[in-house]
Amino acid sequence: MAQINVNDIPAEMFQFETRSDLNHDSKFETKPVSYFQGAFRRFSKNKGAVVGGIVIATLLLFAIIAPFFTPFRPAYYDMVYAYVTPKCHLFADNGADFWDGCRVKSTNYIGYLKDLALAQETGRDVIKRGEFTVSEDGSNYTYRYNTYYGVGFGKYKIISQAEFDDIQRYQDETGAQILYPVVKLQDRPSLEKNKYDANIYYKVENQSASTVRPKTDKDGNIIPNYWKYEEGDASPLIADYHSSRIEGENGIEEDGKQYFYAYGRKVDGGIEVRAEYYEYYIYQHTQVKKDGITEPLFLFGTMQTGKDIFACLAYGARFSFIFASVVAIVNFIVGVAYGSIAGYYGGKTDLIMERFAEILGAVPTMIVITLLKYHMGTTSQALVLFIAFFATGWIGMSGTTRMQFYRFKNQEYVLAARTLGARDRRIMFKHIFPNGLGTIVTSLALVIPYMIYSETSLSYLGIINLEAGNTTSVGTLIAAGQQSIVANAGYVALFPCMFLVLMMLSFNLFGNGLRDAFNPSLRGAEE
């Protein structure tokens, strides 16, 4: 390329510029963006991280709010209502075959007759809508069975005279029926397991049979076998009570005589009655216990002990979040302080501190928990778990902080601050720590799900038992769900497993989003 001699440029090619022709730097149109604003914008562009954050917020709101919207507590249990299926009024009251407290039941003709007998006596929809299907050979009946009404009467119950009178008062005031006529002792099935079965109120074909078969009339109706008596001939064994709910105001008339049904049999210790459990449950909780429970309604169903899964999951999730957050914050404070000192000063200080951390970190957490349980047997299991996780949990945070301090402590702005006379504390926490905050915060976000998962695993294995008072664990629910699969109650494990899966997946997405937001240079990299 030929060289141009400035002396050979013609003078006419030069011209003077006016002030208006001079170009100046234009003012920025945009506002300055801070470090955290930029991080938030980058985070918002990560759809997976945003969805993960929304799911975490939803689970957190569930853990905080749900316990206030249920009258049940983890300490509550009712063995009669074991393995009842999830029920929601929104679906059950609109006739939907979903979330209605029912399950599909397949049984033989005798089993069907028993459920039909219970439905006829109580007027409950034990067999949903009365609909059923019969197999081609007629041996199998299939229908939607209501697990709330299907418990019926259970066993004969012995109550005091005072409770007997109070139930009568409750029935008269509300119009509900709890007590139903009893069957005379000699008219009941002879085998012990059937003699005190209060669901058998009907005549049977063979009293000594192991599986009793109800008698029916020509129209297919169950024939009752109630204990009845004439008004003037009442046995001293009969509890004095006339009810108009079954036989009418003036009793029943047979062969020109007036009869009444016996609603109780006097025995040692009180009165033996047949109490329909659904209404008796309502009476007990609204009139006797007054604990805020108005009806048996379990949104997520119950487990083998009759505990409400919704309440247990809500309280278990609340405990998991609180426990993991407290442990993470304590480990964060200790780990950052320890790691910053080791990383900033280096040399012998770092060597000694790192050897101590390595020795402590080499001790398995399981051994720490075992030793703590052995020496702190009467102490709260939650405290044992906290000490065990704190004993070694801060080491990971310490290593991350130490690495960041080694990375930034020799940067120019740090050397400049030191030259200007800044103290070590100011350099450490004013200049170095904020620059390594992205990686440290990312580590903190991933510590919380790790703590929850560890606590869940230990309670699932039975190493830590958090079943005390109103405390429970998601791991305990999962363990109960594993046992319930055999009983065709998979929903017991479904809800706690869904909670754990959603939480772990969401925290991983959320943590990756934080990493990419605070450290754009590490986007897509695995730490």
Q: What is the pLDDT of residues 53-68, one digit of tens each?
A: 999 999 999 999 999 9
Side chain identity at residue 137, one-letter code: D
Lowest mean pLDDT among 13-22, 218-227, 257-266, 415-424: 13-22
Can you give the pTM of this predicted structure?
A: 0.83
Cα dihedral value 192, 198, 203, 204, nearest 10? -40
On the CB side of 468, CA atoms within 13 Å amount to: 10
| pLDDT confidence tier of residue 17, bands split at 50, 70 and 90 | low
Residue whose pair of structure tokens reads 């109630």 in the numeric block: 226
Q: What is the mean pLDDT of the segment spanning 332-339?
A: 91
Task: Give the pair of three-digit tokens for residue 296.
Answer: 């048996």
Quote the DSSP letter at residue 527.
Answer: -
Residue 498 scores a pLDDT above 90: yes
Task: Give the pair of three-digit tokens for residue 329.
Answer: 């914050």
Confidence (pLDDT) at 23: 61
- Start-to-end CA distance of the chain, whole Å, equals 52
Radius of gyration of the chain (CA): 37
Residue 189 scores a pLDDT above 80: yes
Alpha-carbon gap, residue 335 to 120, rounded angstroms = 68
Confidence (pLDDT) at 526: 46
Pick 321 or 436 by higher pLDDT: 321
Confidence (pLDDT) at 16: 67
Q: What is the pLDDT of residues 452-461, one digit of tens each?
A: 888 888 888 8
Confidence (pLDDT) at 157: 92
Lowest mean pLDDT among 33-47, 91-105, 138-152, 500-514: 33-47
| pLDDT confidence tier of residue 219, bands split at 50, 70 and 90 | confident
On the CB side of 292, CA atoms within 13 Å amount to: 7
% of the chain beyond a pLDDT of 70: 89
% of the chain beyond a pLDDT of 90: 35
Alpha-carbon gap, residue 390 to 448, rounded angstroms = 13
- Contact status, residue 473 vs residue 458, Cβ threshold 8 Å: no
Pick 236 or 327 by higher pLDDT: 327
Confidence (pLDDT) at 239: 65
Residue 92 scores a pLDDT above 60: yes
Lowest mean pLDDT among 226-230, 373-377, 401-405: 373-377
Pick 84 or 410 by higher pLDDT: 84
Q: What is the mean pLDDT of the segment spanning 105-112?
A: 92
Residue 5 scores a pLDDT above 90: no
Alpha-carbon gap, residue 122 to 212, rounded angstroms = 20
Confidence (pLDDT) at 245: 45
Side chain identity at residue 504, one-letter code: M
- Contact status, residue 146 vs residue 115, Cβ threshold 8 Å: no
Confidence (pLDDT) at 470: 73
- Contact status, residue 470 vs residue 74, Cβ threshold 8 Å: yes
Task: Give the pair of three-digit tokens for residue 181.
Answer: 């006529």
Q: What is the mean pLDDT of the segment spanning 77-83?
A: 92
Confidence (pLDDT) at 159: 92
On the CB side of 494, CA atoms within 13 Å amount to: 13
Q: What is the mean pLDDT of the segment spanning 486-511?
A: 88
473 burial (CB, 10 Å; 0-12 / 13-18 / 19+) is buried
- Contact status, residue 462 vs residue 479, Cβ threshold 8 Å: yes
Q: What is the pLDDT of residues 362-383, one digit of tens each?
A: 888 888 888 888 887 677 788 8
Q: What is the DSSP string of 19-37?
A: GGG---PPPPSSPP--HHH
| pLDDT confidence tier of residue 527, bands split at 50, 70 and 90 | very low
- Contact status, residue 260 vs residue 47, Cβ threshold 8 Å: no
Q: What is the DSSP string of 321-351?
A: HHHHHHHHHHHHHHHHHHHHHHHHH-HHHHH
Pick 250 or 271 by higher pLDDT: 271
Q: What is the mean pLDDT of the segment spanning 81-93?
A: 91
Lowest mean pLDDT among 18-27, 384-393, 510-519: 18-27
Q: What is the pLDDT of residues 265-302, one digit of tens each?
A: 888 888 999 999 999 999 999 999 999 999 999 999 99
**Cα-based angle 497, 501, 505 (whole degrees, multiple of 5):** 175
Residue 184 scores a pLDDT above 70: yes
All structural domains of the chain, each given as residue ranges with its CATH number in brackets, are 93-146 (no CATH), 157-289 (no CATH), 309-522 (1.10.3720.10)
Alpha-carbon gap, residue 15 to 189, rounded angstroms = 124
| pLDDT confidence tier of residue 248, bands split at 50, 70 and 90 | very low
Task: Give the pair of three-digit tokens for residue 493.
Answer: 């494990």
Cα dihedral value 41, 44, 48, 53, nearest 10? 120
Instruction: Calculate the alpha carbon distances from 440 to 34, 149, 399, 515, 519 in Å.
Output: 19, 55, 10, 9, 11
SS3 of the chain: helix, strand, coil, percent, to 5: 55, 10, 35
Lowest mean pLDDT among 129-138, 237-246, 325-334, 432-441: 237-246
- Contact status, residue 260 vs residue 228, Cβ threshold 8 Å: yes
Residue whose pair of structure tokens reads 């130490």 in the numeric block: 402
Confidence (pLDDT) at 518: 76
